[in-house]
A and B are shown apart, each in its own frame.
Chain A
Amino acid sequence: MGAIEDYVARIEETCGEERDFVVVFKYDKKGEVMAKILQKAKVEKSISRIIFELTFKDVSFRLYGTGKAIFRNLKDKDELKNVLSDLLL
C-alpha cells in the first residue's frame, strides 16, 4: 500500500471563485495513474482520449492526457486527498 505522494507531484488550489483543485501527477507515473483512474471512475465523456469527464463517488473531475486533473466542488484539500487515495491506492 503506497501513498498518494507516490503519484502526485503537486496540488494547486486554483485562484478564482470556483476554488477548484488542479492535481499534477508525477510524470513517470502518468500512464499508471490514468489507467487506475479510468478503471475506477465512471467516464461521462471522452474527447479524443485526451480529456476525460469523470465522476467518482459524486465527485466530478476532468482528467487530461498531460497527466493533470481538475477536481471541482470539493470542501477542502483533505476531501481531495481522500478521493485521490480511493482512486489511486
Chain B
Amino acid sequence: MSHVVSSTTKTGAPPERKIALLDATAGVLVKHMPAISAAVGLVVLWQFVVWFFKIPTFMAPSPVDVAYAFQDNAKILWTNMLPTILEAFLGFVFGNLVAILLAIWFVHSSTAEKAFYPIAVFIKAIPIIALAPILVLIFGNGLAPKIIIAGLICFFPTLVNMVQGLKSASPAMLDLMRVLSASNTEILWKVRLPSSMPFLFAALKIAATSSVMGAIVAEWIGSSFGLGALIIEATYNFRSPLLYATVVIAAVLAVVLFFIVSVIEARMIRWKPAGSH
C-alpha cells in the first residue's frame, strides 16, 4: 500500500546530560534554599548584634572573630580533633557491636533477656558524667575511658532498637521458614537480621551524634588532649573565639558521622517493609 517513513530522531546526548546535571544542582539548591538562607541570616544577625551592642569578645565573639580563631589555631584544633575522632569512632564501633551481639543473644534466649535487660537499663540510668571519673580512676588518662564512655552512650538505643528489629519478622514469615525446615541460624541470617536493618539504622543515626558527645564529655574529666580538653582550656583562659571554633568543629564532626551513616543506610536499604498495602 504505502511506504512507512520511519523517522529516527537523533538525540544530542551530551547537551541533554549537561542540562540534566545543571537541573539537578539547581534542584538541590532550591530544595535547601530555606535552610541555607536561614543559616546565613542567623550568622549575619549574630555579627550585627555583637557590633551593635559592643559585646566584648571574651563574652561572645563575633563570627568574624571565630573565623580568625580557626585560622590562628588551625594546628591546635587539628591535633585535638584527631583523638576525639578516634575515640568517637571506636566507641561507636564497640558500643554498637556489643549491643547487636547482645540483642541477637536476647532474641534466642528469653532467659538471657530476662537476666540482662534490667541490668542494661540500670547502666543506662547512671549519668555518664558520674561514670566518667570512675572509669578514669580504673583506666587512667588514656584513650580507654573515653572510648568506653562513647561506647556506653551508643549502646543502649542500639540494644533496644535491635531487639525490636530482630523480633519484627512477621509470624507468617517465621511459619514459612519452619515449613522450609530452616535452622535458627538460617532464620537469623535470611530473615531476622535483614528485617532488623531499618531499626538498626534508626539507632545508629542517634549513636553517630551521641558518640561524639560521649567522647567530649569523657575528655572534660582528666584529659590533656581532645576537643573536650580544648573546650575546658579555652573557657578557663577566656579564649572565647577558640572555644566557639572548637564547638563548631565538634558539631561538624557529629553531623559528618550522621551523614555517613545515612549514606550507608540509603545504599543498604532499598526495599520497603512488607505489609504496607
- A-B complex is real: no
Which residues of B approach A to under 8 Å, CB–CB?
none
